[in-house]
C-alpha cells in the first residue's frame, strides 16, 4: 500500500510486575510507506539494583523479531516518558529518531527519577525531536500531551483504516477504573490535579473523536481481552 497513513497497530507485552499482575507493554505502528514506529521500549535488559518489582518477559527485540523486524528497521521511537518500564531499551534502536515532549526531556535532565534510564534516552540532539504539546506526527498518528504522571508525559491517538480511532493513554490512565470524571481518592498525590486535568482532556477527546477503543497503560484484565503480536489491529 503506497498511501502514507497508519496501516497496522501491534500490541506487545515485554514484561510484568508479577506481584501486582501488571503488564509492561510496547506498541508498534506500521505506515503505508513501510515505516515502523515503536511506542516505548519496555524494561532494561538488566534491571538496576533495587528494582525488584519488575520482571522481563519476551523483550521488545524478540517481539519485533516475531513479526520479522530487526532493531534497525525502527525509524522512530515515540517516547511517552522516561520511566524504567517505558524507556529501558531505547538505545537498542540505533537508526531511529526519538520523539518526546520538550517539557519531559528538559525535566528528566535534572530529575533523579529518570537517572537509571539516562544512558537509554540521553542521545545526541540530532536524533531527538522535541515536541511542544499536541502534535500530528504523521497522518493518523497524533501525540497528546498529558502531564501529571510525570511532566510532559504523552499519550498516542492512532487512526486505523478498519478499526477506526484508538487511544493509548499510556500512564496518563493506566487502569480502566481511572477513566472517569468522578472525583478520585488521591488527594495525597501532589500531581492529582494535573492527572485529573489530563484524564478530562482524554475523556473529551474520546467523545469528540468517537474513539471506539481505549487501551489502558497497565490494565491486566483488559490486556487479556486484546489482540497481541503477531496479531494486529488494522
| Strands 97-101, 74-78: pairing kind | parallel
CB of 218 to Zn ion, least distance (A): 6
Using an 8 Å Cβ cutoff, are 234 and 8 in contact? yes
C-alpha cell at position 233: 489491529
Using the contact rule CB under 5 A, the part of the chain among 14-22, 35-43, 132-140, 170-178 near Zn ion is 170-178
Please report whether residue 40 would count as binding Zn ion according to CB under 5 A: no
Closest CA to 117 of 127, 132, 104: 104
Please report whether residue 171 would count as binding Zn ion according to CB under 5 A: yes
Using an 8 Å Cβ cutoff, are 173 and 217 in contact? yes
Using the contact rule CB under 5 A, the part of the chain among 127-135, 164-172, 179-187, 221-229 near Zn ion is 164-172
Per rule CB under 5 A, count of chain residues that contact Zn ion: 2
d(C-alpha 123, C-alpha 147), whole Å: 22
Nearer to Zn ion, 85 or 145 (CB): 85
Closest CA to 24 of 232, 220, 230, 221: 220
SS3 102: helix
Nearer to Zn ion, 8 or 90 (CB): 90
Nearer to Zn ion, 6 or 171 (CB): 171
Tell me the residue number closest to Zn ion, measured at CB: 171
Closest CA to 149 of 208, 86, 90, 205: 86
Q: What is the DSSP secondary structure assignment for residue 173, as one 8-state letter?
A: S
Using an 8 Å Cβ cutoff, are 99 and 143 in contact? yes
Nearer to Zn ion, 7 or 155 (CB): 155
Residue count of the chain: 234
CB of 163 to Zn ion, least distance (A): 24
CB of 128 to Zn ion, least distance (A): 21
Please report whether residue 145 would count as binding Zn ion according to CB under 5 A: no
Nearer to Zn ion, 7 or 16 (CB): 16
Nearer to Zn ion, 207 or 224 (CB): 224
Using the contact rule CB under 5 A, the part of the chain among 39-47, 95-103, 112-120, 165-173 near Zn ion is 165-173
What residues from 77 to 116 belong to the interface with Zn ion (CB under 5 A)? 85
Phi and psi at residue 170, to the nearest 5°: 55, -130
Please name the helix (run of DSSP H) or strand (run of DSSP E) that holds residue 106, with its range, or none.
helix 102-108
Nearer to Zn ion, 8 or 86 (CB): 86
In the complex, the residues that contact Zn ion under the rule CB under 5 A are 85, 171
Amino acid at each position: 500500500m503506497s498511501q502514507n497513513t497508519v496501516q497496522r497497530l501491534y500490541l506487545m507485552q515485554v514484561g510484568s510486575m508479577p506481584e501486582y499482575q501488571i503488564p509492561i507493554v510496547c506498541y508498534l505502528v506500521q505506515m503505508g510507506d513501510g515505516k515502523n514506529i515503536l511506542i516505548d521500549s519496555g524494561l532494561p535488559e538488566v534491571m538496576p539494583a533495587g528494582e525488584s518489582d519488575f520482571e522481563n518477559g519476551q523483550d521488545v527485540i524478540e517481539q519485533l523479531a516475531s513479526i520479522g523486524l530487526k532493531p534497525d528497521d525502527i525509524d522512530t521511537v515515540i517516547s511517552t516518558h522516561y520511566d524504567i518500564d517505558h524507556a529501558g531499551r531505547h538505545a537498542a534502536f540505533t537508526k531511529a529518531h526519538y520523539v518526546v515532549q520538550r517539557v519531559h526531556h528538559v525535566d528528566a535532565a535534572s530529575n533523579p527519577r529518570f537517572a537509571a534510564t539516562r544512558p537509554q534516552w540521553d542521545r545526541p540532539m540530532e536524533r531527538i525531536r522535541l515536541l511542544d504539546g499536541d502534535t500530528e506526527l504523521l497522518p493518523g498518528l497524533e501525540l497528546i500531551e498529558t502531564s501529571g504522571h510525570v511532566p510532559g508525559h504523552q499519550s498516542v491517538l492512532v487512526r486505523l483504516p478498519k478499526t477506526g480511532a484508538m487511544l493509548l493513554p499510556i500512564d496518563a490512565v493506566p487502569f480502566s477504573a481511572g477513566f472517569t470524571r468522578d472525583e478520585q481518592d488521591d488527594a495525597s498525590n501532589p500531581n492529582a490535579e494535573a492527572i485529573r486535568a489530563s484524564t478530562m482532556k482524554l475523556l473529551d477527546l474520546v467523545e469528540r473523536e468517537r474513539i471506539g477503543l481505549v487501551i489502558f497503560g497497565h490494565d491486566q484484565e483488559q490486556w487479556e481481552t486484546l489482540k497481541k503480536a503477531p496479531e494486529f489491529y488494522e
